[in-house]
């Protein structure tokens, strides 16, 4: 039988209460270039993220969440903390095999799974997919990398649950499509900031705010955003605007309804003869081909133009298409010549980072080796 807390108990708890503005934990950045940076999150700014995410997407004691991404990744940590605050059941699975994930959803009657889209693709392509009862699944979230419209529609067709298209970063910004959003909004945007008090803007290369439906750098500030990297004044100086907005390094636009669409990374931009090309835009076009299961686009070095567009492609099981076929398909979709890759590399699997994203650093090294080999032969 539980006893009531005494005055001494309450005093002891009060003495141990952490400062809400103190650092709760430090998470390393998950980029594929350079050394990871320490991202400190305070109790206040992290709980702000957790609270609005779980309230807005109706997580409660009737839910069972399955975590298959690394627990150290922010996509997982937010849900681990959320389970404590909102009381939903949490299942941790140390396997990313489609059969293990499907079996766990069936056994535990899982209602919610946050995953990277590449893993969702593997599940939908899994030969034994139809053998499992996934009817308990109500919400499937895709974060960490772009979710293509084709993937979203396939989830609705094969599983029938709501897809949540998310864009997030450990530094604090999280945007998501809503549970009642139209499927076109879910296919083509990453929704609105989960914390309504976060302010987002789109800036041009001179720091001037751009109007709606214009592409530029996404910046944000607010109560859910971190205050700066650990012991890294040089990086902090580069990462914040003079009026305190965090510069995400992502290229984005905000539509008339206030929904955000990520169109690329500033560092990932391919500069071909002075023209800026967004890999994300090319990936969306290539990935729309029915024979393509996954694609990663990078810039390959070129002595005349600086860079050319290269696409690494993984085909769906039993499908066949060549470079010319994909190029013709892209043209039929209205793609300009600039967006059509000048080289296609067909692979059995794409390298991934520990955070579940395409490892483009490895691909850039691979294409350099391939180019050198072609020259020597």
- Regarding whether 344 and 232 lie in a shared domain, the answer is no
- Regarding whether 218 and 70 lie in a shared domain, the answer is yes
Residue 353: predicted pLDDT: 82
- Regarding whether 198 and 78 lie in a shared domain, the answer is yes
- Regarding whether 185 and 280 lie in a shared domain, the answer is no
- Regarding whether 284 and 329 lie in a shared domain, the answer is yes
- Regarding whether 280 and 255 lie in a shared domain, the answer is no
* Domain's final residue, options 245, 263, 281: 263
Residue 221: predicted pLDDT: 97
Residue 31: predicted pLDDT: 52
Residue 33: predicted pLDDT: 46
pLDDT 10s digits, 21-56: 999 999 887 654 456 789 999 999 999 999 999 999
Region 90-107 average pLDDT:
96
* Domain's final residue, options 242, 263, 284: 263
Region 111-140 average pLDDT:
94
Region 266-283 average pLDDT:
86
How far is C-alpha 339 from the chain's CA centre? Answer: 23
Question: Using 50, 70 and 90 to split pLDDT, how confident is the model at 91?
Answer: very high
Query: By residue range, what is the domain housing residue 368?
Result: 270-376
Paired residues of 174 in beta bridges? 168
Q: What CATH number did the domain enclosing 201 receive?
A: 3.40.50.12780
**Interacting residues of 258 by C-beta distance below 8 A, sequence separation 6+:** 192
- Regarding whether 138 and 32 lie in a shared domain, the answer is yes
Q: What CATH number did the domain enclosing 366 receive?
A: 3.30.300.30
Is residue 55 assigned to a domain?
A: yes
Q: How many C-beta neighbours within 10 Å does residue 103 have? A: 16
Is residue 71 assigned to a domain?
A: yes
pLDDT 10s digits, 202-258: 999 899 999 999 999 999 999 999 999 999 999 999 999 999 999 999 999 999 999
- Regarding whether 151 and 216 lie in a shared domain, the answer is yes
- Regarding whether 202 and 103 lie in a shared domain, the answer is yes
Residue 30: predicted pLDDT: 61
- Regarding whether 310 and 196 lie in a shared domain, the answer is no
Residue 93: predicted pLDDT: 96
Number of domains in the chain: 2
CA-to-CA distance for 276 and 283, rounded, in angstroms? Answer: 15
Is residue 108 assigned to a domain?
A: yes
Residue 1 confidence (pLDDT) above 70: no
CA-to-CA distance for 15 and 98, rounded, in angstroms? Answer: 47
CA-to-CA distance for 282 and 333, rounded, in angstroms? Answer: 12
- Regarding whether 129 and 232 lie in a shared domain, the answer is yes
Is residue 10 assigned to a domain?
A: no
Nearest to 367 by CA among 348, 343, 351: 343
Residue 265 confidence (pLDDT) above 90: no
- Regarding whether 295 and 209 lie in a shared domain, the answer is no
Mean pLDDT of the chain: 92
């Amino acid at each position: 039988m539980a006893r009531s807390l005494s005055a001494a108990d309450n005093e002891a708890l009060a003495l141990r209460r952490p400062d809400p503005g103190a650092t709760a934990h430090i998470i390393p950045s998950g980029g594929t270039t350079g050394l990871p940076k320490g991202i400190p999150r305070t109790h206040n700014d992290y709980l702000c993220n957790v609270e609005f995410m779980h309230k807005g997407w109706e997580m409660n004691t009737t839910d069972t969440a399955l975590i298959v991404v690394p627990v150290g990744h922010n996509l997982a940590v937010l849900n681990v903390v959320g389970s404590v605050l909102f009381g939903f059941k949490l299942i941790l699975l140390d396997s990313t095999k489609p059969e293990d994930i499907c079996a766990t959803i069936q056994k535990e009657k899982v209602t919610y799974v946050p995953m990277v889209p590449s893993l969702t693709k593997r599940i939908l392509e899994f030969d034994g997919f139809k053998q499992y009862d996934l009817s308990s699944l109500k919400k499937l979230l895709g974060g960490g990398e772009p979710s293509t419209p084709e993937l979203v529609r396939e989830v609705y067709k094969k599983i029938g649950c709501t897809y949540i298209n998310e864009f997030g970063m450990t530094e604090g910004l999280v945007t998501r499509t809503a549970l009642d959003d139209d499927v076109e909004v879910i296919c083509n945007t990453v929704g609105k900031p989960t914390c309504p008090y976060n302010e987002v803007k789109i800036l041009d290369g001179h720091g001037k705010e751009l109007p709606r439906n214009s592409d530029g750098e996404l910046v944000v500030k607010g109560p859910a955003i971190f205050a700066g990297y650990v012991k890294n004044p040089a990086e902090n100086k580069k990462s914040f605007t003079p009026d305190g907005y965090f510069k995400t390094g992502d290229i984005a636009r905000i539509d008339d309804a206030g929904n955000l669409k990520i169109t690329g990374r500033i560092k990932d931009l391919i500069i071909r003869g002075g023209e800026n090309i967004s890999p994300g835009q090319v990936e969306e076009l290539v990935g729309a081909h029915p024979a393509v299961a996954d694609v990663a686009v990078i810039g390959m070095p070129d002595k005349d133009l600086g860079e050319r567009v290269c696409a690494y492609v993984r085909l769906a099981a039993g499908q066949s298409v060549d470079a010319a076929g994909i190029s013709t398909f892209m043209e039929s979709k209205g793609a300009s010549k600039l967006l059509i890759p000048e080289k296609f590399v067909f692979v059995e699997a794409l390298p991934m980072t520990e955070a579940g994203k395409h490892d483009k650093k490895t691909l850039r090294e691979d294409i350099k080796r391939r180019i050198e080999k072609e020259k020597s032969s």
